[in-house]
Every structure is written in C-alpha cells, then in structure tokens.
Amino acid sequence: MQNAQKGLVLPMMRDIPEMFGSLVFNDDVMSARLPREIYKSLHKTIEEGKALDITVANAVAAAMKDWAIEKGATHYTHWFQPLTGITAEKHDSFLSPQNDGRVIMEFSGKELIKGEPDASSFPSGGLRETFEARGYTAWDPTSYAFIKDDSLCIPTIFCSFGGEVLDKKTPLLRSMEVIDTKATRLLKLMGDDQVTRVSSTVGPEQEYFLVDKQTYKKRRDLVITGRTLFGAKPPKGQELDDHYFGVIKPRVKAFMKELNEELWKLGVYAKTEHNEAAPAQHELAPVFTTTNTAADHNQLTMEIMKKVADRHGLSCLLHEKPFAGVNGSGKHNNWSLSTNYGKNLFKPGKKPQDNRTFLVCLCAVLEAVDRSQDLLRIVSASAGNDHRLGAAEAPPAIISIFLGDELTEILDAVEHGEHAENKKAETVVTGVEVLPDFKKDTTDRNRTSPIAFTGNKFEFRMLGSSFSIADINTVINTAVADSFDRLADRLEACDNVDAEIDKWMAETITAHKRIVFNGNNYTQDWIEEAHRRGLYELKTTADAVPLFVSEKNVELFTKHKIFTKSEIASRCEIMLDSYCKVLHIEALTMLEMARKEITPAVVTYTNEIAKSVKLKKDIGILAENDATFVICKKLAKLTDKLYAKTNALDSAVVGLDHTSSSLDASAYCRDEFLPAMNALRAVADELETIVAEKHWPYPTYNELLFNV
C-alpha cells in the first residue's frame, strides 16, 4: 500500500510478525542454521550455565557471520554496558587479508567469546589506574546478538584485566542467578515439586519528551546538559490535563510509527504508546520479558528513540527534568517472578489470603524493601532525578509500598493469626443499558507511591528516564533473594514447615509493616509520619550514595557474590564523581549563558528603554510613575542582581577546587552549587518575563513545549 503524498511503503499488519526480530540472531535462526548437536550444546550452556566448548563457539560464530553478512552487516562489535549508564561498542570488520592479496570474510569462536577494548577511559572508581588499560568483554549467550547500523552486535559483559566488574550486566546476571537459586530452594521446601527455575521479569515503561530539533539547537543548556537551566514558566503548562492520553500529533505519530518498526526488527516488545501528562511528553511501554533481555532492550530503545527523532526533525529528551514546573520523566520498572511452568509468584488468585506462596513472596518483598530502602534510593539517584523526585507525579525520596486496603487488611489478619474474609469484587455500575457493568480491581493505583503492588507485579516508580534498569533490578533481585534465603534456612531447621511459615510471616509483617503506606505520599503529614516510622528521607544523591558502602550493604552484596567490597566502593565513587561533574558542567553552562548572552540581551533592551525615558524627559513629559521609567528602573535593578548572582555562582565553582574527596565534593555541590544556581535562575527567569521577545537570546518554554 502506497502513501501517495510521501511515496512511502506502509507495512501491512500481516507483515509485522515477519518484521519482528528480523535483525536478531534468535532461537529460530539458530535452530535453522546450526547443526542439531551444536544447537543442543549451546542451549545447555544457556540453560545450565555450562562452559562453552570452542568447537561450539566456532560453529556459532560462522553461522552468525553468514547470517549477518546476508543482512548487510560488514562489521561486528562486542556491545556492552559500562558504568557510564549508556552502551559502548568497538567495531571490527569481518575482512581478513590473504597471501595472494585477496580478502575473505572471517569470524572465529575466539572473536565471538572474547574481546579486548581499552578499559582506561571507562569509569572504574579507583579500581584501575589510568595507565592500566587492558579490559575484557565476554559474550553473554543468554542475550541474542542483533544487527544495528550494519554491524553484528554481540551482547557482552565487561571486566578489567584483574577481573573486577566494570559494567552493569554482570551484577544483573549474578542477581538473576541468585534469585533463581534461592526462590527455587524455598518453593521446593514449601512443597512445589514442579519448580526447577524462577526467573525475574520486567516491563520498563519509558517516558520522554520530543521537541523541535532546530529549536533545541538554539538552547545551549539543552544541548550541553539535557535540561533547561533557565526558563520562565509559560502561561499554559499541563494545568488543563489536555495532553495526557490526548490525540497524538501527526509529526509525533510518524515518529512513533518508525520507532515501533525499528524496535520490532530488533525484537523489542514495544506495545503501548501515548501522550503523557506534560506538553511534548510521551511514553512507550513494552511487554514483560526476562530481566536481562528487558535491560538490553531498554538501552536499545533509548538509543533508537534519539536516532529516529533526529530523522523526523525532532530531539528526544531523556533527562529526568528537562523543564521546570511540569512533569519530569521517569522509568517505571514493573518487576515480577515467574516459575519454569508459568506461575506468577505475585498473582494472588481468587483468595489471596489462602495463597501461601503469594503471601510468602509478598512478605519477603516487604522485608527486602524495608531493609534496602537506602539501596533502592541509591540506584534511583542522580543529579537529574533529584530535581524530579517529589514533584508532579514523581514519587518522593522516601521509600514506601502501596498495597491497597484489601491486601493490607489480609496482612493485618496474618500478623495476628486470624483468617481474613475474602471480599467479593465490587461491581462498577455504568447506568447505561447498552454498556456492561464490570468488576473493579481489588486495589487502586497510587501515582504518588515509589513502589506499588499493581495486581501481579510491583511497580518501582522512582527510576529516572535516562537510567539503565540493570542497577535497580540487581538490588531488587538480591534483596528479595536474601529474604528467601533466610526463610529457607529456617524451614530446613524446623519440624513443621507450615507452622514456621505462619510464624515467619507474622514476625515479618510486624517488623516491616512500617514500609506500607496507602495514602498520598506528597503530603507534609506523610513526611512527618515517615520520620516517626524511622524511614529514610534521602533528598539528594549526595545524601544517599555514601550509604552504599555501609556494613549492611557490603554484607548483602558480598554474601551473594554480586560485588566485592572494592567493587562496591568503586561504584560509590563513580556515582558521587558523576554527580559532581554533572553539577559542575551545569554551573559552567549557566555562567556562560548568563555572561555571554542573557546579560548582553538585557543590557541592550534596557538601553532601548532608557532612550525612550530620555526622550520623554527631554520633551518634559516624563512622570514619576511613567511605565517606561518604571520598567527601565526595574530592569536596571534586576541586571545588577543578575550580575551579583552570576558572580556568586562563579565563586561557588572556584570553591570546588578546595574539596579533598568525592564525598566532600558532592556535599559541597549540594550545599553551594545548587542554591547559587537556583538563585541565578530565579533572577534570569524574572527578566525573561520583562525583556521583549525579540531581544531574549533563547527559545522560550512556549516555543519548546508547543512547537511540534
């Protein structure tokens, strides 16, 4: 079917199944291209974690190469996820020179299994000296290879010459193995004879902004930092709630259409798309899949979003708070656990109070979240996300869980050894004959809660839109696995499993019910109540990250072999260093904008107004309350204030050089940079509302938010 206006071939619905995964070396491709014994051996490696035989690796590499070349690929790359938060790749061609001057296309099992990128330029948090450059990438056979930009991309882990973990995939894979082992052990002790494997699954919802690319290029702050460091509030924001789920604009719809096609080719389960609450904000949600695959897919999604946006004359903003005064962008991490035979461990069933597996898993999550409040805040921490948390539909920086009234009542009954009556689902009566009445869910949805139980999964809403989902799922998997492990130890040592489970659940609910809150998390009353309950309130990254190296957290990660103590310290160092660098870059950008563009623009406009004042004075018609005179006077005062606040920020920037450690530097940036930046912005934003539009050096929020 042709689009006559654009001359584009539109894919028919029947073509989508054929398109889906067409650029992925998936199980279907492997079964068709690999010899039967090689295919079986590879599956054994994937399912049982056995070592990969070099003969098998060579056969897989040859099949991968032939398939990739047929798809137009000329190069291959080990695609990995260093501690920068984005992906990395180094490309090598399949070309191999021969003695007669010709070339052939080769790709060996050795090249598939191991790569050697330079590790010296990636964050290591002190694990490696700058001159210690060697690092290794190693193929992750549980993630499918794929083709992107004419290169065969091979998902890999990344470590240093000494074996220290330098990526996000390795700890995630370890945490998945840990929760599989601990959950399987526990379920067997509870009498589940079918279970052989438990997998963590995730569906990450991705929020983002789309703005016109040419308008974007005129904003130095957006280009350099990803957010607007200056910008007066527009007359209209999201007050009318007219953008949320509204009709998608044609330009955005065209972007979404191409984005879906590109993601489907890469095997990404892109499913739901809609306008979000803020003007120019949108969301994409995929279908659930295993956590490792979901993490890979989300990294790809963010990359492809930016590329497709660029082709449509748009810029995709993934910063957590690109615009002040409207919603920021988060990433809702919907997490659950499933057995090898398809049972969702968080599906309550018709009578959740009688579903012991569900209740045990629910109690384990309560315990894990309460014990790891600090960790969940840490893996949601960044300079960008600090601006978002607690504002406009983002949860606050206090961890809590929303369960809804019915589940809370059930837990209360379990705590006191009582049997809770199962409530029948209420019917919503539509009152219109042609419309059917319907059963409502047992719980509402709470947008203000950091963690909400939403039927058969937990939705972690704190994560920032630019984040990798690997870190938060590493923490969730490990913390819940630890709860499973300690309960399993008790069950192995007891005489009556059922009685011990009842006792454990009652004790766990009593000890950790403080983490449950079903109300409005935005209220001051909740903040005060959270303090009374002894919950953490870690407002900034500088407050949260230092807790990463606490004895409790080191014990958790080292016990389950997720990180070594030095790897934990390195990650703490990297996060604090990144926080300082981001704020430092933002401060320098503000200074440059204020001095080189905003101040000159204000002075030019003031001079123009002053000429009018002088003219009126010269001809004797200037009154004391003359509008021109009042505006000129106000501009002069604000200009002096702008100059003073610019100098104050400059002094704060200079003071950073006197800090002695990343810990001191992060506290300094929090206490000195942020107040100085906010003070400078306040003056500049007030000036923006006075200076004539033709004089203001940057596109305003009106132009950015309503120009697509």
Is the pLDDT score of 633 beyond 60? yes
Whole-number percent of the chain with pLDDT over 70: 91
Quote the number of domains for the chain.
3
pTM of structure: 0.92
Pairwise pLDDT comparison (477 vs 626), residue with the higher score = 477
Whether residues 58 and 194 fall in one domain: no
Average pLDDT, the chain: 90
Q: What does the buried/exposed string (b/e) look like for 470-508 if buried means 16 or more CB atoms within 10 Å of the residue's CB?
A: bbbbbbbbbbbbbbbbebbeebeeeeeeeebbeebbbeb
In angstroms, the CA 102 to CA 26 distance is 32
Where residue 118 falls among pLDDT bands split at 50, 70, 90? confident
The predicted pLDDT at position 235 comes to 87
What are the tens digits of pLDDT across the range 576-587? 999 999 999 999
How far lies 685's CA from each of 643, 691, 700, in Å?
14, 10, 10
- Bin 392: left if φ > 0, else alpha if -120 < ψ < 50, else beta: left
Give the residue from 529, 563, 597 where a domain finishes: 563
Asked whether residue 555 is assigned to any structural domain, the reply reads yes
> What does the pLDDT average to over 509-515?
97
Is the pLDDT score of 267 beyond 90? yes
> What does the pLDDT average to over 503-507?
96
In angstroms, the CA 518 to CA 5 distance is 52
Give the residue from 126, 142, 167 where a domain finishes: 167
In angstroms, the CA 302 to CA 86 distance is 9
Asked whether residue 191 is assigned to any structural domain, the reply reads yes
In angstroms, the CA 469 to CA 175 distance is 13
Is the pLDDT score of 338 beyond 90? yes
What are the tens digits of pLDDT across the range 6-61? 445 555 556 888 899 999 999 999 999 999 999 998 988 877 766 778 899 999 99
What are the tens digits of pLDDT across the range 135-191? 889 999 999 999 999 999 999 999 988 889 999 999 999 999 999 999 999 999 999
Q: What are phi and psi of 201, to 5 degrees?
A: -125, 150
The predicted pLDDT at position 99 comes to 66
Whether residues 407 and 289 fall in one domain: yes
How far lies 406's CA from each of 370, 409, 449, in Å?
21, 5, 17
Where residue 418 falls among pLDDT bands split at 50, 70, 90? confident
Asked whether residue 138 is assigned to any structural domain, the reply reads yes
Pairwise pLDDT comparison (513 vs 394), residue with the higher score = 513
DSSP-derived secondary structure letter, 354 = G
Closest alpha carbon to 508 in 478, 486, 530: 486
Whether residues 161 and 188 fall in one domain: no
**Whether the Cβ atoms of residue 352 and residue 345 lie closer than 8 Å to each other:** no
Asked whether residue 374 is assigned to any structural domain, the reply reads yes
Whether residues 385 and 447 fall in one domain: yes
Asked whether residue 572 is assigned to any structural domain, the reply reads no
> What does the pLDDT average to over 470-479?
98
> What does the pLDDT average to over 255-271?
96
Give the residue from 167, 202, 229 where a domain finishes: 167
Whether residues 73 and 139 fall in one domain: yes
Whether residues 157 and 183 fall in one domain: no
Quote the domain boundaries for residue 637: 579-705
Alpha helices in 91-168 (DSSP H): 109-113
Whether residues 588 and 548 fall in one domain: no
Sequence-ordered list of residues with C-beta below 8 angstroms from that of 353, at least 6 positions apart, any chain: 359, 410, 413, 414, 419, 420, 422
Asked whether residue 9 is assigned to any structural domain, the reply reads no
- Domain containing residue 588: CATH number: 1.20.120.1560
Asked whether residue 15 is assigned to any structural domain, the reply reads no
The predicted pLDDT at position 2 comes to 42
Helix/strand number for the chain, H first, E second: 25, 22
The predicted pLDDT at position 465 comes to 96
Q: What is the CA radius of gyration of the chain?
A: 28
The predicted pLDDT at position 676 comes to 98
Asked whether residue 680 is assigned to any structural domain, the reply reads yes
Whether residues 296 and 216 fall in one domain: yes
- Domain containing residue 465: CATH number: 3.30.590.10
The predicted pLDDT at position 10 comes to 54
What are the tens digits of pLDDT across the range 216-232? 999 999 999 999 999 99
Whether residues 179 and 161 fall in one domain: no
- Domain containing residue 38: CATH number: 3.10.20.70
Whether residues 411 and 482 fall in one domain: yes
Whether residues 137 and 205 fall in one domain: no
Whether residues 94 and 219 fall in one domain: no
